[in-house]
Amino acid sequence: MSDPRLTPLAAALPADTPFVGIDTLERQRGAPFAARLGANENGFGPSPAAIDAMRGAAGDMWMYGDGESHALRHALGDRHGIDPAHIVVGEGIDGLLGTLVRLTVAPGDAVVTSLGAYPTFNYHVTGFGGLLHKVPYRGDHEDPGALLACARETGAKLIYLSNPDNPMGSWHPAARIEEMIAAVPPGCLLVLDEAYADCAPPGAIPRMDPGAGEVIRMRTFSKAYGLAGLRIGYAIGPRPLISAFDRVRNHFGVNRMAQGAAGAALADDAWLAQVLGRIESSRAEIARITAACGLTSLPSAANFVAVDCGRDGDHARRVLAELAARDVFVRMPGAAPLDRCIRISCGPEEDMARLAKALPGALEAASR
C-alpha cells in the first residue's frame, strides 16, 4: 500500500533499490559471508595515511565538514593539472549521479544507457521521471556508436557510459572515447563513469579536458583507494555545469573524516601502486581458479573479473546461489546475454583460497 501523500511520480515507482546490500543479505541468511567478493570493494584496505587521517579527525566530528571540500578539490586539481573550479566533490559517484540527473532531467526527458549497465544510474533517472532508452552491448563492450545513434534519435539529455565497464570489466581505448565525446549531439551530455580508471591499462583513459562541454567525468575513492565506506567521489566537467551543482546538492553531505581521508589517500602514491599490483595479481588468480574449473574469465581493466559460466542466466544464478551457500559472496550482471557471467571482485589471498575451495562444488551442484 502506498502512502497517499506521495507525488504521483513517486507513487508510481517500484518499491525496490538498485542493489540489495551485503549486510542485508547476511541478515537474511543469518550469518556473515567468509569471502566478500561481490561489491567491488577494495579488500586490500585503504592507505595507512588515510587511516591516520580518520583517527585524527575523530575528535573533530562534532563539526560539519567543509561545504566546499576546498582542500580536497585543490589537491585533486593539482593531481589532474586542472582548475579546481572544474571539480565538485560528492557522496560517491552514486550521489553525484543523483544530483546530475536532478539538474538535467525533467519528467519525460530521454536518457540513453546500455542494457545491463550500472543500475543505480537508471534508478536516479526513473526517480526524476526520465525515460530510459537501453542499447544492447556489442559483445562484452558497451557500444559507443549505438549509444550516440540512440541519443540522436530520441533527443536524449544524457548518455551514460562506464569505461572501464561495470559489470563486464571491458574497456575502450582513449581514442575511441574521445571520438565519442566529439560526436555527442547538441544539447546532450555524456556521463563518463570512470570509477575504475585507476585500475585501467595505459591508453584506456582519455586526456583531461575539463572545459569540454559535452562530457562530465565521474571518479571515486571507493575502488582503488579503498574508502567505499566513507562515500566520497568527485566529478570533473565544464565550469557552468559544475557550479550548477551548488544549486541543489547537499552542501554538507561529505563529512570531515571523508575529506581528510581522501586527501591523505590521494597523496600516498606508494600505497596506491602496491594496491594496483595486488589487484593485478588477484585478477590473474581469479582467471587461474576459474580456468581450472573449465570456465572462461573475460579480460578486465577493473578490480573484478567477469567469468563466463558457459550457459545462460539461470545457470549463472544457480552458481551464484551455490557459492553463497559456501560462504562466498559474488554478484552477476542483471541482463541477458551478460548474465551468463558471474562477477568476482579482487581480494586478498585468503579470499582467493576460499573461492578456489568453494567453486568446484558450487559448479557441480549448479549443474545437477
Place of cell 551543482: 245
Q: What is the mean pLDDT of residues 51-75?
A: 97
What is the pLDDT confidence band of residue 363, given thresholds at 50, 70 and 90?
Answer: very high
- Express as a percent the part of the chain with pLDDT over 90: 96
According to the model, what pLDDT value does residue 244 have? 98
How does pLDDT run across 296-305, given as a tens digit for each residue? 999 999 999 9
Q: State how far the alpha carbon of 273 is from the alpha carbons of 125, 281, 286, 302, in Å.
A: 36, 13, 20, 15
From the number of C-beta atoms within 10 Å of its C-beta (0-12, 13-18, 19+), residue 230 rates as buried
CB contact at 8 A, 362 and 322 = yes
Q: What is the mean pLDDT of residues 70-95?
A: 98
Q: What is the mean pLDDT of residues 234-245?
A: 98
According to the model, what pLDDT value does residue 16 have? 82
Structural domains of the chain sorted by starting position, each given as residue range(s) with its CATH number in brackets: 8-45+270-366 (3.90.1150.10), 50-268 (3.40.640.10)
Q: How far, in Å, CA of 237 to CA of 99, rounded?
A: 14
Phi first, then psi, for residue 339 (nearest 5°) are -75, 5
CA nearest neighbour of 196 among 85, 280, 87, 111? 280
What is the pLDDT confidence band of residue 358, given thresholds at 50, 70 and 90?
Answer: very high
What's the whole-model pTM score? 0.96
DSSP H or E stretch at residue 192: strand 189-193
According to the model, what pLDDT value does residue 125 have? 98
CB contact at 8 A, 46 and 222 = no
CB contact at 8 A, 162 and 140 = no
According to the model, what pLDDT value does residue 60 have? 96
What is the pLDDT confidence band of residue 14, given thresholds at 50, 70 and 90?
Answer: confident
CA nearest neighbour of 163 among 201, 186, 195? 195
Q: What is the mean pLDDT of residues 81-99?
A: 98
According to the model, what pLDDT value does residue 212 have? 86
Which ranges of 40-140 would DSSP assign to H, the alpha helix? 48-58, 70-80, 92-104, 119-127
Q: How far, in Å, CA of 54 to CA of 259, rounded?
A: 9
What is the pLDDT confidence band of residue 366, given thresholds at 50, 70 and 90?
Answer: very high
CA nearest neighbour of 206 among 177, 245, 163? 177
Furthest-apart CA pair in the chain: how many Å?
59
Res 314 pLDDT > 90: yes
Q: What is the mean pLDDT of residues 150-158?
A: 98
